[in-house]
Amino acid sequence: DTDEARSTADSEAAILEGLKWCGITWDEGPDCGGNCGPYRQSERIQAGIYQEQLDKMVAKGDAYKCFLTPQELDAMRAEAERNEQAFIVQSPWTNAKKDEIQAMMDKGVPHVYRFRVPFDREIVVDDLVLGEVTWNSDDLGGDFVIVRQSGTPMYNFGVVVDDAQMAISHVFRAQEHLMNTPRQVLIYESLGFEAPKFGHMPLILAPDRSKLSKRHGAVSVGEYKSRGFLPAGMVNYLAQLGWNDGTKQEIYSIDELIGAFKFERMSKVAAIFDADKFKWVNGHHVRLLSEEQAVDLVGSQLKKSDMVKEASGEFVRRASVLLKERISTLVEASEELKSMMAFDLEAMLKSEVAQPYFEV
């Protein structure tokens, strides 16, 4: 929660609520406590957790203060481009003397902390999705920042400390985080922590294979809930983006997904988000609702849209049972009910079928 612009109490609550709505629960965390707290990075900063680990790295010589300015870094980057070379940070502060560092500190010059990347070191990770992945430390772009000028930890440093101290055994994340892995492995080794097992899953792309954004339907879990999607429908659809069990089955309960899931069946290529397919899957789960569930969910939607005064009674029961067979999302219930109840009396009276029943 160190990104003050995006991390608020409301955004945290929305994330936790979205996970709970999907049926994902946890044994410990910011909302229920536990043995590995505090759980917010801002609170962990105040507790000195990252500073303690940073001090260890500095003492070992694996991290150092760097006073390079943004302008100096820009000049180094421009020089590399002119020479048609990859930009590699080569900080003059990597081997600075104590008195030089102290002089800068006395002047109050802002600084960051960089991790000292070893030269020509092979880093190998046995990824649970991608298999064996190898990097050379010389390709990591040089010494990287682990603590900002503000004193807040950068992602690669903070997540290593958090995961290690919280005994995280497996880390599953998108493939766009793959290049963070060698840097994190180096930090794990520096701090003497055992690295977890990593699995980098395929990205979810838009139909045009661009990065998924709000215009393609990438919204919060809470918004999908408000659009009338069911937790079972969402979990079913998302689980099959980049995975299948080798059969033609497409509709699963959550328990069936848990029983069928194996990492060996994870795809290595990006999946495409298809909004129509999502609605189709959700529609199947709507039809799988019991009568009691249909009355509760569909009836509540009808009341919300002022179609009925109360989400109960014989009319609501019958309407809900009929509607769940005809809709893909709960919000479609009101319009579908209007369509079912629409009756053009005037047209019927003028029809040939009705004429024999009128007196001349």
- Positions marked catalytic: 214
Residue 155 buriedness (CB in 10 A; 0-12 / 13-18 / 19+):
middle
Which residues are CB-neighbours of 12 under 8 A, at least 6 positions away? 1, 30
- Enter the tokens of residue 85: 């070379």
The answer to whether 305 touches 311, Cβ cutoff 8 Å, is no
Among residues 245, 272, 268, which one has the least CA distance to residue 175? Answer: 268
DSSP state of 136: E
Nearest one of 131, 115, 219 to 175, comparing CA atoms:
131
Transcribe 315-336 into DSSP letters: HHHHHHHHHTTT-SSGGGHHHH
Q: How far is the C-alpha of 75 from the C-alpha of 228, rounded, in Å? A: 53
d(CA 223, CA 163): 30
**CA nearest to 17, candidates 226, 216, 169, 215:** 226
DSSP state of 274: -
DSSP 211-250: BP-GGGT---HHHHHHTT--HHHHHHHHHTSSB--SSS--
Report CA Rg, the chain.
29
| Distance, CA of 51 to CA of 78 (rounded, Å) | 33
Cβ atoms 69, 61 nearer than 8 A? no
